[in-house]
Amino acid sequence: MNARPESASATSDISGFGASRRQFLKTSGGLVLGFSLLGPLAALAQQPATRIPASPSGGAQTFPAVDPAKLDAWLAIHPDNTATLFTGKVEQGNGSPNALAQIAAEELDFPFDKLFVVMGTTTDTVDQGPTYGSMAVRYAGPQIRHAAAAGRQVLLSMASKRLHVPVEQLTVRDGVVSVTGDTKRSITYGELVDGKRLDVTIGATGKTFGMKVAPDAKLKDPSQYTIVGTSVPRKDIPGKVTGAFTYVHDVKVPNMLHGRVVRPYGIESNLLSVDESGLKDIPGFVAVVRQRNFLGVVAKTEWGAIKAAEKLGSKLVRKGPTDGQAKWSDWQGLPAMDDLWETLRHASGKDITVAKRGDVDAALRKGAKRFKATFRTPFETHGSIGPELAIADVGKGYAKFWAGTQMPHQARRDMAELLDLPVENVEVNWVEASGQYGRNGLEPVMADAAIMSRAVGRPVRVQWMRWDSHGWDPKEPPIVQDLEGALDKDGNVTAWHHHMWVPTFSDTRLLASELIGKPVGQVHLGDAAIKYEYEFDNADVVAHGEGRVGVITAWMRAPGQLETTFAMESFIDELAAAAHQDPLAFRLKYLKEPRALAVLNAAAKQYGWKSRPSFQGRQPGSKATGRGLAWVNRDGSRVATIADVVVDRDTGGIWVKRVVVAHDCGLVISPDGMRNQIEGNVIQSMSRTLHEEITFNRAHVTSRDWASYPILTFNEIPDNIEMVFVNNSAKYPSNGGGEPSTCPTAAVISNAVYDAVGIRLRQTPFRPQRVKAALARA
Amino acid sequence: MPKTIHLKVNGKQHTVDTEPGTMLLYVLRDQLGLHGPKFGCGLSECGACTIHLDGAAVRSCVLPVTAAEGRAITTLEGLGSVDKPGPLQQAFIDEQAVQCGYCINGMIMTAQAFLDSHPNPSRDDIKQALNGNLCRCGTHMRIVRAIERAAKNWRKAS
């Protein structure tokens, strides 16, 4: 029931309903999977619909694209009066299917619990752009809203003909159309559509994020909303807590083999030789796949693949380039860890001016007091709990993938380029993966699987080992930032200088494509990743955008902006403290934007903020408490965060005890889903701030597991995370909520530590030894 | 050489042919089709693969299948189903204590074994019990609330 109708009658008494103009989905014939997602409706109802289609082998196959101008690109109504929403957006653990389905159900006047969602699969969905940048609800929401509103109009005109009354005399409730005032004369959407496809043109212009769908659709007045703005339970959770849910990690396709990669010793090492002796003794071993510097193994069982890869050198700790039966050249081209910051300052790139006002140099010279600080943030890994995985079936004239990528449509184009196939011959079946928080390795692993499948002529499932994921996923880049400021004698800011050196967070080169010498993907320069809102008379804010520095880096939740907010919001706190002023009042003096003021004031109210300068002197005992404040404008969503922290002078430990978040992303579609996201952002960014740092030697990443790359654990969670929604109203269109509340955290903690013990932490992570060292220096 | 191994999983007897050195996780997932336990690290560091062995929470990614012979293995599937979730699973649903959900198997299996021997835990006890389980989405607050809810429900019922 979750796919589009398998067949449709070409005859219809409804104008505009004709034979389908595109291939219907075939979910039978060749579909032999280890599970069924088309099973009992009860089970289906618990899980967003995910189609696992047939994989017939042999011969060229083409997979036509979906036409966004057609209603059936977005919607199918089934005879039992359930419905399916199709969207090119995907779920990454954020609950976006709920929000998007709420928007659709609202406009359709359809029961939310009977509306299922098919996401991502390239043959089934419109390319609405990748699911990143907190943009799913913001951009896909209006597209889906318009498509659903157009769908309601189509269904009403069908009902008008069937019930022989004008549309104006019809009422819809829960997918049942009735004659107003005569509920006995009614018909369900399912009966109206009668198993046919909604082959009606609703119109669409533009592409991906900018696409306008059904521009003429009559939208519901938001004052009539009954589904949008309510907390509805997520449909995937019962399956996820009982083991019934199918992740991409659980997919099995017929004839499938298991692959593992063996990465180079050094990032740019060359593969010199592979000694295959003993591999044939490993039960289930099938083949070594070697293409230039790409090396992998394929076996009939996962365990066989793991053991074979281990023999060749895939393991947690590699002692050298010849540790294992594969021998690599001894590449040592990474900077020393201590030199990373200087390396960043001298990498080539392009300057991006964020703000240029007045004469900063003169103002700095004239200032009564002058301040300087440098902020440093390291490489970080996405660290998905489930390592990256993809299944590829590459045959003659076709390639099919089962993948959890955040960008199935772009990945389809990339795989076509990698495999020298027309895009039409490539299909990406999207199936949810372990949470990903940006561009982790879910796209690169597709290339690994493609190369191995092409080599052995069978579908291959490749899962990275933990060390492949920590070692080789695209990383959040390190950033170094210099700030300078001046105060006049009255404590006013007269100069603000903020320069940052930012390696790319948009390096989409697929690792395996580089290893085989056929690079796919682009290395863009680093971006500014800052929204500078303070209105100082003299300001100079510049980002030096750079290319790849050492390792592949790509976007991770609020890319760059956790770091730039750390610097900006810590430094203004330093100036406020130097001026002996309350840090909230100090910020408010230099802000005019009403939504910025609103979140700061809302957070202060919820927290119970009392005006005073930070750091009131040494507190008795080993433990000291402090409060910290910071805010951000992340692409139009405003967030202010206040936290209380406890610093243990003896151990250097920091505990974030209470967090208050005031969050303005406009109209909140799904309040509990939004709260879940904010909690996740706060905890994850606390983890990044307190613990996380990728370490490396001159050859490769050395923090390749959870012991060497610790993250936040349960003992460290706050007592409370309190949340306030600001401007949660249809007057303010829904903006992004997947990332913004990540941004203030490092600054909040740093500022609270200062308030507690009078030291400034300007480099993450704030691990105990670093805190103790700073305390000792103070 | 593959060996025939008898396993008792969720109350049912199974016979599988597998390499004796294979870790139990792969047998459960690939041969018995039980997808509750997940591969996370293979190093016993994250807890995503947690199962019960004779009622104790253990990491199946580092447990050779032969070590599980003759013992009672319980997986997430053994605690309940979509149609009939177990009480702890129901508490996770009630608290909406999932983001991506990949770690949740470990959270529930670890918490269940803990609650079985600690029916009246404090919040700090719960945090301590779960401290070796990693969640990357940051669902910790809800996970703790779900376990508190389950414990409270059991106290009410008993």
The token pair at A637 is: 């969503």
Q: What is the mean pLDDT of residues A412-426?
A: 98
Of residues A696, A375, A769, A741, the one with CA closest to residue A557: A741
Cβ-count burial A297-334 (b if 16+ within 10 Å, e if not): bbbebbbbbbbbbbbbbbbbebeebbebbbbbbebeeb
User: For residue A18, what pLDDT band results from cuts at 50, 70 and 90?
Assistant: very low
Report the side by side order of strands in the sheet with A83-87. Answer: A75-77, A83-87, A115-119
The token pair at A50 is: 């995910």
The CA-CA-CA angle for residues A144, A149, A154, to 5°, reads 125
d(CA A103, CA A137): 9
Would you list the DSSP string of A341-377?
HHHHHHS-EEEEEEEEES-HHHHHHH-SEEEEEEEEE
Residue from A385, A437, A681, A682 whose CB has the most chain B CBs within 10 Å, to mutate: A385
Share of chain B above pLDDT 90, in %: 96
How do residues A607-617 score in pLDDT, each as one tens digit? 999 999 999 99
Residue from B102, B139, B149 whose CB has the most chain A CBs within 10 Å, to mutate: B102
% helix, strand, coil for chain A, step of 5: 30, 25, 45
Whether complex ipTM tops 0.85:
yes
**Over 80: is that where the pLDDT of A13 sits?**
no
Share of chain A above pLDDT 70, in %: 92
Query: Is-contact A635 A133, C-beta < 8 A?
Result: yes
Facing residue for A721 by CB, picked from B46, B80, B141? B141
Q: For chain A, give me the number of helices (H) and strands (E)? A: 18, 26
Please answer yes or no on whether A249 and B21 come within 8 Å at the CB atom.
Answer: no
Provide, as residue numbers in chain B, all residues whose Cβ is less than 8 Å from the Cβ of A676: 96, 99, 139, 142
User: For residue B1, what pLDDT band results from cuts at 50, 70 and 90?
Assistant: confident
| pLDDT for A57 | 52
| pLDDT for A4 | 55
Positive/negative CA dihedral, A138, A402, A313, A507: negative
- C-alpha distances out from residue B48 to A387, A393, B41, B142, Å: 11, 28, 8, 17
Provide, as residue numbers in chain B, all residues whose Cβ is less than 8 Å from the Cβ of A386: 38-40, 48, 102
**Over 80: is that where the pLDDT of A331 sits?**
yes
- C-alpha distances out from residue A444 to A449, A507, A519, Å: 9, 11, 12
Query: Is-contact A67 A73, C-beta < 8 A?
Result: yes
Q: What is the mean pLDDT of residues A51-66?
A: 68
How do residues A247-278 score in pLDDT, each as one tens digit? 999 999 999 999 999 999 999 999 999 999 99
The CA-CA-CA angle for residues A54, A58, A59, to 5°, reads 110
Maximum Cα–Cα distance across chain A = 85
**Over 50: is that where the pLDDT of A1 sits?**
no
Of residues B37, B38, B31, the one with CA closest to residue B4: B31
The residue in chain B having the minimum alpha-carbon distance to the alpha carbon of residue A721 is B141
Single-letter code of the amino acid located at A133: G
Is 0.90 surpassed by the pTM of this model?
A: yes
Maximum Cα–Cα distance across chain B = 53
Facing residue for A680 by CB, picked from B26, B79, B137? B137
How do residues A697-711 score in pLDDT, each as one tens digit? 999 999 999 999 999
Please answer yes or no on whether A706 and B45 come within 8 Å at the CB atom.
Answer: yes
d(CA B99, CA A25): 30
Residue from A258, A714, A745 whose CB has the most chain B CBs within 10 Å, to mutate: A714
Cβ-count burial A63-90 (b if 16+ within 10 Å, e if not): bebbebebbbbbbbbbeebbbbbbbbbb
The token pair at A174 is: 């829960």
**Over 70: is that where the pLDDT of A34 sits?**
no
> What is the count of residue pairs from A and B with beta carbons less than 8 Å apart?
192
d(CA A521, CA A529): 21
Provide, as residue numbers in chain A, all residues whose Cβ is less than 8 Å from the Cβ of B102: 247, 249, 384-386, 434-435
Q: What is the mean pLDDT of residues A275-287?
A: 97
Facing residue for B138 by CB, picked from A306, A433, A681? A681
- C-alpha distances out from residue A643 to A572, A600, A750, Å: 17, 13, 10
Provide, as residue numbers in chain A, all residues whose Cβ is less than 8 Å from the Cβ of B40: 385-387, 466
| pLDDT for A649 | 98
Which of the residue ranges A36-40, A268-272, A335-339 would you say has the lowest mean pLDDT? A36-40
**Over 60: is that where the pLDDT of A618 sits?**
yes
d(CA A406, CA A432): 9
| pLDDT for A54 | 47
Q: What is the mean pLDDT of residues A721-742?
A: 97
3-state SS assignment for residue B108: helix
How do residues B16-60 score in pLDDT, each as one tens digit? 999 999 999 999 999 999 999 999 999 999 999 999 999 999 999
How do residues B78-105 score in pLDDT, each as one tens digit? 999 999 999 999 999 999 999 999 999 9
Q: What is the mean pLDDT of residues A274-298?
A: 98
More confident residue, A373 or B1: A373
**Over 90: is that where the pLDDT of A37 sits?**
no
3-state SS assignment for residue A575: helix
d(CA A318, CA B147): 40
Which residue stretches of B65-138 are H helix? 87-94, 104-117, 123-129
d(CA B41, CA B35): 16
**Over 60: is that where the pLDDT of A80 sits?**
yes
Single-letter code of the amino acid located at A512: A
The residue in chain A having the minimum alpha-carbon distance to the alpha carbon of residue B48 is A385
Q: What is the mean pLDDT of residues A642-655?
A: 98
User: For residue A38, what pLDDT band results from cuts at 50, 70 and 90?
Assistant: very low
Q: Does B44 touch chain A (CB under 8 A)?
A: no
Would you list the DSSP string of A125-194?
S-----S-TT-IIIIIHHHHHHHHHHHHHHHHHHHHHHHTS-GGGEEEETTEEEETTEEEEEEEHHHHHT
Please answer yes or no on whether A437 and B30 come within 8 Å at the CB atom.
Answer: no
Please answer yes or no on whether A434 and B93 come within 8 Å at the CB atom.
Answer: no
Of residues A746, A745, A752, A753, the one with CA closest to residue A771: A753
Q: What is the mean pLDDT of residues A282-300?
A: 98
Q: What is the mean pLDDT of residues A342-349?
A: 96
How do residues B126-139 score in pLDDT, each as one tens digit? 999 999 999 999 99
Q: Does B46 touch chain A (CB under 8 A)?
A: yes
Please answer yes or no on whether B82 and A46 come within 8 Å at the CB atom.
Answer: yes
Please answer yes or no on whether A463 and B138 come within 8 Å at the CB atom.
Answer: no
Facing residue for B43 by CB, picked from A240, A679, A705? A705
Provide, as residue numbers in chain B, all residues whose Cβ is less than 8 Å from the Cβ of A712: 138, 140
Angle between helices B140-157 and A671-690 (to 10 degrees): 120
**Over 50: is that where the pLDDT of A335 sits?**
yes
User: For residue A368, what pLDDT band results from cuts at 50, 70 and 90?
Assistant: very high
User: For residue A58, what pLDDT band results from cuts at 50, 70 and 90?
Assistant: low
| pLDDT for A183 | 87
| pLDDT for B157 | 87
% helix, strand, coil for chain B, step of 5: 40, 15, 40
Provide, as residue numbers in chain B, all residues whose Cβ is less than 8 Å from the Cβ of A36: none
More confident residue, A385 or A33: A385
How do residues A188-241 score in pLDDT, each as one tens digit? 999 999 999 999 999 999 999 999 999 999 999 999 999 999 999 999 999 999
Single-letter code of the amino acid located at A474: P
User: For residue B11, what pLDDT band results from cuts at 50, 70 and 90?
Assistant: very high
Facing residue for A683 by CB, picked from B46, B85, B140? B140
User: For residue A16, what pLDDT band results from cuts at 50, 70 and 90?
Assistant: very low
More confident residue, A23 or A337: A337
User: For residue B149, what pLDDT band results from cuts at 50, 70 and 90?
Assistant: very high
The token pair at B9 is: 């999983």
| pLDDT for B2 | 87
Positive/negative CA dihedral, B106, B107, B109, B113: positive
Gyration radius of chain B's alpha carbons: 16
